[in-house]
Amino acid sequence: MVKRDEIKRIIALLFVFLSLIFLSCSKEKVVLERVRLAFLDSDLHQLAAYVALDRGFFTQQGLQVEVAGIFKAGPEEMSAFSAGEIDIGYVGLAPATIAAANGMADVVLLAQANTEGTSIVVGPDFDDSEGIRSLAGKSIAIPGKGTVQDFLLQKAIEKWQINPIPKQVILKPPEMQFALNNEDIDAYIAWQPYPQRSVRRGKGKILIDSGKIWKDHPCCILVGDRKFIEEDKPRALKIIKVHIMATDYIIENPEKAVEIGVKYTGMERETIRKAIDKIHYTYFPDIEKTKEYLDFLVKFGYVRNVDSGIFIKRFVNEELWTGF
């Protein structure tokens, strides 16, 4: 007959054995899905990308994100999409739409990143007594033809009937302040935080914010390579979920968002704080405003031979947003 102590010992050993099996299973390595991400350098419109990386939101959704590119301009990023080097990216609506409509890159709009957040900046001694009409006959730098900033300037010229039309000069935003300091240009239009940095350093003043030109206008978006998105819908939904988490974090934790903005741009805290105040962070795509912008691109010849209705339906996959 087995003694009572022996029975207890056997039960104890069995418990240890089962516990080891449980721990072994629980420590089984979780395989994360690889995602190659890109975004623009020091662009606060794309703060959600910085927040998602900093707070580990991709990992929380089972995604192993790899920063595959940090670009100076949207067209460069769209070229990387075309070359198959990235899977998802934060980029301006302008270069993404132009590349997709002209067949240079096959991407899908996954989410809006922000609205507004652009300003026209003039020198500190610029005579702005006529408001935005003071730009008549002046030179103004834009970041490129077909950009949202180009569109906003054209819309302002038409809305306020600015004449003579300002002369446009193409410069990258980091170069604009130097040109303004050297009086090579009279003004520039760029996304935040560049305008606010000019103000903060006493090198410029804001003539007008973009919301007064086109209220709630779309600017940056999150796009994905079509093949990458369509071959795995659950993975695409995880990516959208990460963006929503990051955007909500910005809205609910403004001071922590400022800290992350400082970390990823290297700019002064007060500059980042005031710049973020001028940006509206969101995630639901605005289809009507996206179509309005496409019509502008067609009107000025940046996009050709495109049926806007068919293009928007293919470019904006509304099915991905079912349930959000």
Give phi and psi for 193, each to the nearest 5: -100, 10
> Is residue 301 helix, strand or coil?
coil
Q: Are 190 and 162 in contact (CB under 8 A)?
A: no
E strand or H helix that includes residue 263: helix 254-265
Q: Are 86 and 80 in contact (CB under 8 A)?
A: yes
- Domains of the chain plus CATH, in order, are 33-116+219-321 (3.40.190.10), 118-212 (3.40.190.10)
At 252-277, the pLDDT tens digits run 999 999 999 999 999 999 999 999 99
At 106-155, the pLDDT tens digits run 999 999 999 999 999 999 999 999 999 999 999 999 998 888 899 999 99
Residue that is written with structure tokens 């899905």 in the block = 33
At 300-311, the pLDDT tens digits run 899 988 998 999
Residue that is written with structure tokens 């289809």 in the block = 287
Query: Which structure tokens are listed for 127?
Result: 């005579």
CA nearest neighbour of 100 among 235, 302, 250: 302
